[in-house]
Chains A and B, each alone.
Chain A
Amino acid sequence: MTRLELRQVRKCFGPREVLAGISLNVAAGEFVSILGPSGAGKSTLFQLLTGAERGEGEMLFDGAPLDDHGSRFAFMPQRDALMPWRRILDNATLGLEVQGVPRRAARERVAPLFAEFGLAGFERAWPAELSGGMRQRAALLRTVVQQRDMLLLDEPFGALDALTRAAMQRWLEAMWRRHHWTALLITHDVREAVLLSDRIYVFSARPARIVSEIKVPLPRPRTADASVAREAAGLEAGILDTLLGATDPQLSAQRPSPRR
């Protein structure tokens, strides 16, 4: 069953075209990734979905136009966006609080999840006291407790060091196997996309078009099994070729002009 469907979504910032007609869909319980070079317009797509910006084209959710932006998605922005002035517990309950859940009830709903998210004992800590990986898990916790229809994750592990990132990817894979969230993940990490996704949309450089759509038919868990991991590596190499093939002419065309 298709939940999210985008048809020819376009977005320009003034004269700058950022999204040049994006069509994609995400089915219920499916984990879909958007893979693309940085600056392509991936985050912009999420801005459209969350209603922060308006674009052209059709955005449907369960077949109906997506106008009630607040209610469908739990959105995790590119930076963790934890509020430094709230303790981790209060950061985690933020979404419920905005929904009008009384603080007490919100805390009761969030508290049992701390162990699962590797944050047990840190309920009263300030965000500044957490490591990068823990902050990301706290941000993810804040996102999933909203119990929205779909998760929008914008490069959740982009700022982490390689080791922490690998640990977080395994962890997220395990979490997804347990919860079967419907999720749309933005990443510029090919391995991450292959590891986590059912399907991958590869974006070109700006203005973003969909260069290819790749199914990832690998069994899960993908990190634990050596033979699966080998298959994943093959897939990864193929995608990297597509990506470089699509972006290379763009990159070389852009190189002489300084970045604005």
Chain B
Amino acid sequence: MAVPSVPLSGGDTSGPSPRGGRSAVSSAIARAAPAAVSVGLLFAAWELYARYGGVRPTVLPAPSRVFGQAWENREALMDNAIPTIRATLAGFACSLSAAFLFSALVDFWPSLRRALFPLLIASQTLPLVAIAPLVVLWFGFGLLPKILLVALVTFFPMMVALVEGFEATEKEIGQMLRAMGAGRWRVFWLARLPSALPYFFAGLRISITYAVVGAIFAEYAGAAKGLGIYMLNAKNNFRPDLVLAAVGVSAALTLVLFGLTVLFQRLAMPWERAAAGRGSEGRQ
């Protein structure tokens, strides 16, 4: 049976538009410029103050000296950065796995939430300064206490992010999947897990910075090698320039890890860019 063709409203035929006229490189430079300027100004002010402000270099070394010393001691710094990276990543991996497991359990059995959350919140009130030496005392100078401390500072934010992410699933999607005949597992896998992705990445960005700090704290409390113990030794030898050099390395490390999470998010959530591309002209 022939059916009259149905006209569709004009706005309907517009498709996905090719996005981004500018080249990616020039837009990246444009985005990095403000940060470069502010960092440059900060360093310039610091350099001037250290040189002409009458402070001794053993109190506040100029950035030029910090960079110079960092370069001269680059082998020692790298040598100490590697255990820190290892502790950060190992601790973070453990914490992520645990957070994933427990958040999924809480999602399936919400009453677990009331059992776990008070404990977890309490764990976040433990001062790292006090707990780090104890953990080292109990578990020695190896990798384990570092993993535990990194996990201690990153588990909770990841767990909360995931639990909230699962709960952010659109109610209608759940109802529709149920009507399609999906069981709880199916709903979790098809809807709740992907719904949690934005929350997961927000948590990831925060936690990864905590993770580096946690690892350094653990090393500070006792380690054979690592940026934390390097800082402690440099301080005890009245070498603030080397302390700051190590701080610079840890900052660079944090930035790289942060950048990786952003990159990872882009790859994992390609639809986000499509949504951003439509922007204000999006649907009503």
Q: Chain A: residues with CB nearer than 8 A to chain B?
A: 47, 50-52, 69-71, 73-79, 81, 83-85, 94-95, 98-99, 118, 121-122, 125-135, 146, 152, 159-161, 163-164, 167, 170-171, 174, 177-178, 221, 224
Closest chain B CB from A121 CB (angstroms): 7
Closest chain A CB from B95 CB (angstroms): 25
Return chain B residues, CB-CB under 8 Å to A161. 284
Please state if B283 and A85 are interface contacts (CB–CB under 8 Å): no
> Which residue of A has the minimal Cβ distance to B277?
A129
Please state if B170 and A70 are interface contacts (CB–CB under 8 Å): no
Closest chain A CB from B238 CB (angstroms): 55
Closest chain A CB from B269 CB (angstroms): 7
Please state if A159 and B284 are interface contacts (CB–CB under 8 Å): yes
Besides A129-B15, A152-B179, 11 more A-B contacts (Cβ < 8 Å) are A50-B179, A69-B179, A77-B173, A81-B173, A83-B173, A94-B177, A98-B190, A125-B274, A161-B284, A170-B6, A174-B6
Closest chain A CB from B179 CB (angstroms): 4
> Which residue of B has the minimal Cβ distance to A53?
B175
Of all A-B residue pairs in the complex, the 6 with the closest CB atoms, nearest first, are A70-B181, A77-B172, A128-B275, A50-B179, A75-B179, A129-B16
Please state if A146 and B180 are interface contacts (CB–CB under 8 Å): yes
Could you jot down 27 A-B contacts, CB within 8 Å? A50-B179, A52-B175, A70-B178, A70-B180, A71-B181, A76-B176, A77-B172, A79-B172, A81-B170, A83-B190, A83-B194, A85-B194, A98-B186, A99-B180, A126-B270, A128-B274, A128-B277, A129-B277, A131-B11, A131-B12, A132-B283, A135-B283, A146-B180, A159-B284, A164-B12, A170-B6, A171-B6
Q: Chain B: residues with CB nearer than 8 A to chain A?
A: 1, 3-4, 6-9, 11-12, 14-16, 170, 172-173, 175-182, 186, 190-191, 194, 197, 269-271, 274-275, 277-278, 282-284
> Which residue of B has the minimal Cβ distance to A47?
B175
Return chain A residues, CB-CB under 8 Å to B173. 77, 81, 83
The residue that B8 contacts in the complex, of A78, A121, A167, A224, with Cβ under 8 A, is A167
CA distance A160 to B269 in the complex (A): 27
Interface residues of chain B: helix, strand, loop or mixed (majority): helix
Return chain A residues, CB-CB under 8 Å to B269. 85
Please state if B176 and A118 are interface contacts (CB–CB under 8 Å): no
Please state if B170 and A51 are interface contacts (CB–CB under 8 Å): no
> Which residue of B has the minimal Cβ distance to A160?
B284
CA distance A171 to B11 in the complex (A): 15
Closest chain B CB from A14 CB (angstroms): 18
**Given A159-B284, A164-B9, A75:B274 Cβ within 8 A:** no
Return chain A residues, CB-CB under 8 Å to B1. 177-178
> Which residue of B has the minimal Cβ distance to A95?
B180
Return chain A residues, CB-CB under 8 Å to B14. 131
Please state if A170 and B172 are interface contacts (CB–CB under 8 Å): no
The residue that B283 contacts in the complex, of A77, A125, A130, A177, with Cβ under 8 A, is A130
> Which residue of B has the minimal Cβ distance to A170?
B6
